Amino acid sequence: MLPKELLKTSAIHKLGLALALYALYIAFFLIGFPKPIDNGVHILVVIVALCAIIRELGTLRITNQPLLMDKRQKIIFSFFLVFFVGLYVLVTFQGIKNVISVFNSPFHKIINVATTAFCAGFFEEYLVRGLILAALMQILANKRFGYTLAGFGAAFIFGLLHLSNLTFQSPAATLQQVLYATVLGFTFAYLRIATNRLSLCIGLHTLIDFQPSVNQGVTTVHWGSLLIVFAPLLLATWYCLWQADRQKNHSKFKV
């Protein structure tokens, strides 16, 4: 069952606030504040957005209690973390190399990258896995596949948000980013529901963005590499949310 604090406002109100806050966030980038005040304004915008989201939700819990995972689900949950850190961060996107490269940069660049990565991690997770996911779960309350549909809906919206990157990177690179952002968003939705917290999602999201080119857009990679990495992640996430829905329906536990 959803925490009673989440039910104090309607799902439509939550989605409307999400749209307004995203417009505010995009406006910050379009205005293009001069350095060195841009980082300060960026942080201020995120703080204002987070305060508005926390006030709207009334709680950071998405359910009254975390999911009760069986042995198989715990194994797959561990797989998520090992797979993500081992393959995605360390190999596919060269996470350690990126972090080392950032800290070998001039001090002002370290500050710029850290500000962008942390602001994106906090803002996007509070917006999508906090506000939007809560709204969708409210809409899909008591549905047979409520967790799965809400998770995929939030992930789909998360992927579409990256279309704004067309302003500074190629259509092909943006399309790939939308694809893997959607899959990652689906996985993050499960982690959010399973742990009943945002902290893990924020940490992983920030780690992804902590790279020298975070303010310069992404480049295209081989489609085969993307499928090898993200197809198993998509299937594993779907299985876990499907199992969560089965558990909910079996126990008459309603989201």
Q: What is the DSSP string of the chain?
A: ---GGGGGS-HHHHHHHHHHHHHHHHHHHHHTPPTTHHHHHHHHHHHHHHHHHHHHHS-S-SSSS-----HHHHHHHHHHHHHIIIIIIIIIS-HHHHHHHHHTS-HHHHHHHHHHHHHHHHHHIIIIIIIIHHHHHHHTTT-TTHHHHHHHHHHHHHHHHGGGGGGTS-HHHHHHHHHHHHHHHHHHHHHHHHHT-SHHHHHHHHHHH-STTTTT------HHHHHHHHHHHHHHHHHHHHHHHHHHHHHT---
Tens of pLDDT, residues 36-58? 899 999 999 999 999 999 999 99
Better-predicted residue by pLDDT, 12 or 219: 12
Domain membership of residue 183 as a residue range: 4-251
Tens of pLDDT, residues 142-182? 888 999 999 999 999 999 999 888 877 788 888 988 998 99
Tens of pLDDT, residues 178-212? 998 999 999 999 999 988 999 999 998 998 888 77
**Do residues 124 and 205 touch, judged by C-beta distance below 8 A?**
yes
- Average pLDDT, rounded, for the chain: 85
Per-residue pLDDT band for 254 (boundaries 50, 70, 90) equals very low
Tally of domains within the chain: 1
Confidence check: pLDDT of 255 > 50:
no
**Do residues 2 and 138 touch, judged by C-beta distance below 8 A?**
yes
Which pLDDT does position 167 carry in this prediction?
78
* Token pair of 172 as six digits: 């092909």
Per-residue pLDDT band for 90 (boundaries 50, 70, 90) equals low
Q: What number is the average pLDDT over the span 105-132?
A: 92
Question: What's the CA gap between 239 and 231, in Å, rounded?
Answer: 12
In the chain, % of residues over pLDDT 70: 87
